[in-house]
Structure 1
Amino acid sequence: MGKVITGGTMSLDGYIAGPGESGFDLLFEWYGNGDVEIPTASPDVPPMRLSAASAELLRADWGSVGALVVGRHLYDMTNAWGGRHPIDVPVVVLTHRRPDDRPADDENFVFVTDGIEAAVARARDLAGDKNVVVNGGQMARQALEAGLLDEVGIELVPVVLGDGKPLFAGLGVAPTRFEGPTAVVEGTGVTHLRYRVTDRQ
């Protein structure tokens, strides 16, 4: 069985998004500041151009993923990535109500309304022996509170946003300790950090 992982691209002051869903141009600048092209499976997401170090890490990370868990907000905000997630794996969408235009699940999107435990369990079924990645923000908080997470990955970007949305906003099990970093990779304009969850609820 694979691991359950979460994480996000984060500013130096700890935000994965700035005020009013701003700052993404600064946080994700590293997606286009290198010479190594990484194609995506989404018709709406162009290929990324990463530094060699970031590209090597991203290829390994993506290759280990078997399914994703995201919230309805991200699903709607990205317009379902044009029908297929960039990583090219099934996406479990945790929502209160499935979209009207998707009356049934398919190989791209599965909708779960029974909470984070059910969403992660469904993603584990889809992932097989590979890892499940839980999106940052509210999904990450719920998964950590439920004791479901094994690892956290941070892509730390040298920018200060001043305010916004933290990775684990409103966490109800703080303080929570992590082991590591278990990996540190220096990319261009980003430092990739990996931590292991040691506190379990």
Structure 2
Amino acid sequence: MTRIIADISISLDGFVTGPDPGPDNGLGTGGEALHDWAFSDAPGDRRYLAEATARSGAVILGRRLFDVVDGPRGWDDTRGYGAGEVGKPPFFVVTGSAPESVRLADLDWTFVTTGLPDAVAAARERAEAASARSGNDLDVVLMGGGATIASALDAGLVDALTLHLAPVVLGAGTPLFTGAVPRGFVQRSVTSTSTATHLTYDVL
């Protein structure tokens, strides 16, 4: 069964970027430490990344995050979603309008201008089709940014939440939970490595 999974790295004090994030500084000042686990050579981190990306049948991101990953300092052949781990899933961008051009033209981009629920529905359809072809259950992953994931949680669109808790205090930045709708979770798994604690919750 295809699930909608929100997946994001977060600091001990609840931030998903450091201070002053922007197109040329996507993770903000000091925010790179949030993703040390994704670039770690530790077997536990490599295994977790490989297993998670292998289950990705489609990926959703907001426009601000798209502008970062498609920008000149964004993704390349060695840095990107599951780089070096799996085939490239289709990407769905929630945006007010499609960009005039795309640098990463070799990726499968769909720009959804009618809202997050429509993006989730379209991504689910693609993930379910990929599941049928492969014979494996593949998920839709909301990779961020923080506002997109928070909105999806508040709207009840998320089945599971995965947090990669980095051992860093940023002091400021982009918080994940600000004025959030109260919601319960059921803890399903905890995996500790030298660079992060990977937590997965079912959303009630």
Query: How would you bin the TM-score normalised by the shorter chain?
Result: 0.7 to 0.9
One of 49, 52, 62 as aligned partner of 1:58: 49
One of 102, 127, 139 as aligned partner of 1:131: 139
Q: What is the match of residue 184 of structure 1?
A: 190
- Once residues 107 and 33 of structure 2 are traced to their aligned partners in structure 1, the CA distance between those partners, rounded to angstroms, is 33
- Once residues 64 and 31 of structure 1 are traced to their aligned partners in structure 2, the CA distance between those partners, rounded to angstroms, is 16
- Once residues 116 and 25 of structure 1 are traced to their aligned partners in structure 2, the CA distance between those partners, rounded to angstroms, is 27
One of 33, 37, 43 as aligned partner of 1:30: 37
Deviation at 1:82, TM superposition (A): 4.8
- Once residues 113 and 80 of structure 2 are traced to their aligned partners in structure 1, the CA distance between those partners, rounded to angstroms, is 20
Q: Which moved more, 1:92-101 or 1:126-135?
A: 126-135
User: Structure 2: 5+ residue runs without aligned partners?
Assistant: 22-27, 83-87, 132-137
Deviation at 1:2, TM superposition (A): 0.6
Q: Is the 8 A contact 2:14 2:177 kept in 1?
A: no
Deviation at 1:90, TM superposition (A): 0.5
- Once residues 159 and 108 of structure 1 are traced to their aligned partners in structure 2, the CA distance between those partners, rounded to angstroms, is 34
Say if 2:81 is the partner of 1:86: yes
Q: What is the match of residue 9 of structure 2?
A: 9
Matched residue count:
177
Aligned residue for 2:49, secondary structure, equals: helix
- Once residues 116 and 30 of structure 1 are traced to their aligned partners in structure 2, the CA distance between those partners, rounded to angstroms, is 28
Q: Residues 119, 85 of structure 1: CA spacing in aligned structure 2 closer, same or farther, 3 A cutoff?
A: farther
Aligned residue for 2:9, secondary structure, equals: strand
Say if 2:153 is the partner of 1:149: no
With normalisation by structure 2, the TM-score equals 0.79
Q: What is the match of residue 114 of structure 2?
A: 114
Q: Is the 8 A contact 2:4 2:140 kept in 1?
A: yes
**2:101 maps to amino acid:** D
- Once residues 107 and 31 of structure 1 are traced to their aligned partners in structure 2, the CA distance between those partners, rounded to angstroms, is 20
**2:142 maps to amino acid:** V
Superposition RMSD in Å = 2.1
Deviation at 1:69, TM superposition (A): 0.6
**1:71 maps to amino acid:** G
Q: Is the 8 A contact 2:98 2:111 kept in 1?
A: yes
Q: What is the match of residue 169 of structure 2?
A: 160
Deviation at 1:26, TM superposition (A): 1.6
Deviation at 1:170, TM superposition (A): 4.0
User: Structure 1: 5+ residue runs without aligned partners?
Assistant: 35-50
Q: Residues 120, 126 of structure 1: CA spacing in aligned structure 2 closer, same or farther, 3 A cutoff?
A: same
Aligned residue for 1:19, secondary structure, equals: coil
Q: Is the 8 A contact 2:4 2:139 kept in 1?
A: yes
Deviation at 1:169, TM superposition (A): 3.6
One of 30, 38, 63 as aligned partner of 1:72: 63
- Once residues 40 and 113 of structure 2 are traced to their aligned partners in structure 1, the CA distance between those partners, rounded to angstroms, is 39
- Once residues 3 and 94 of structure 1 are traced to their aligned partners in structure 2, the CA distance between those partners, rounded to angstroms, is 19
Say if 2:187 is the partner of 1:196: no
**2:55 maps to amino acid:** S
- Once residues 112 and 106 of structure 1 are traced to their aligned partners in structure 2, the CA distance between those partners, rounded to angstroms, is 18
